[in-house]
Structure 1
């Protein structure tokens, strides 16, 4: 029977969470030290917000955001250009059997937080919240 690799269960395993956090910290450190031989990437300040790994740990989706939220596409392109060097840095600093394939995506968490803040500031929403609080 073929194993379903799509994970609809209760969430990632402890191992996935542990490895994801280790990858996040390692990549954050490599990027902040400017250890990559790409002047364009080293000039960017990129936050690594989260890393999610596949159940087999062979793919790591890295959620990033450039400082200030600008130059998103440029940051993703610079990270993709340097994927091989970043994978080598991971292998040097970590004790995994294989370096995971890195996939870089923009971390939309900050945008969603801003949208939620804006929504809660709207007069009709404040009125509804205050009405519920009085009841």
Structure 2
């Protein structure tokens, strides 16, 4: 029996991933080159970490973060203010039937990675890791090797 491509649990299709990556690349270029006529955006260095596209390719959610994570709310406001121009500039080079609506969200990936790094660096966690390593190395579990 053929698999259902529209099932909810299957994750994004190859086409969604490909289109999302192309939009991410193009948005990054536009912002880096300062192609948008917005002075606030021109003054910011914004990283586009990921773009997720809806199954019908009509909505593209861009996960963005200004350099250093500062002024994130102002960056979202500026991006939303220039949403129409950004949509036009992205769609101009892509071969899609419809120009996707752009939505901007703060990318919290870097913050999550930093929290995990801090957690792993804590003394109590390091002690637990060292204890587990000692138990694994010094444990006589009956192996013949």
Q: What is the TM-score with the length of structure 1 in the denominator? A: 0.93
Q: What are the within-5 Å matches in structure 2 for residues 48-87 of structure 1? A: 48-87=48-87
Q: What are the within-5 Å matches in structure 2 for residues 34-113 of structure 1? A: 34-113=34-113
Secondary structure of the 2:98 match is coil
Quote the RMSD (CA, aligned, Å). 1.2
Mapped to 1, the partners of 2:32 and 2:128 lie a distance apart of: 44
Structure 2 residue ranges without an equivalent (≥5): 1-5, 136-145
Secondary structure of the 2:28 match is helix
Cα shift at 1:103: 0.8
Kindly report structure 1 stretches of 4+ aligned residues shifted beyond 2 Å.
Answer: none
Secondary structure of the 2:8 match is coil
Mapped to 2, the partners of 1:73 and 1:41 lie a distance apart of: 12
Number of residue pairs matched by the alignment: 130
Secondary structure of the 2:126 match is helix
Larger radius of gyration: 2
Structure 1 residue ranges without an equivalent (≥5): 1-5
Cα gap change, 1:33/1:9 in structure 2, threshold over 3 Å: closer, same or farther?
same
Within the alignment, does 1:128 sit opposite 2:128 as a pair?
Answer: yes
Mapped to 1, the partners of 2:70 and 2:18 lie a distance apart of: 30
Cα shift at 1:7: 6.5
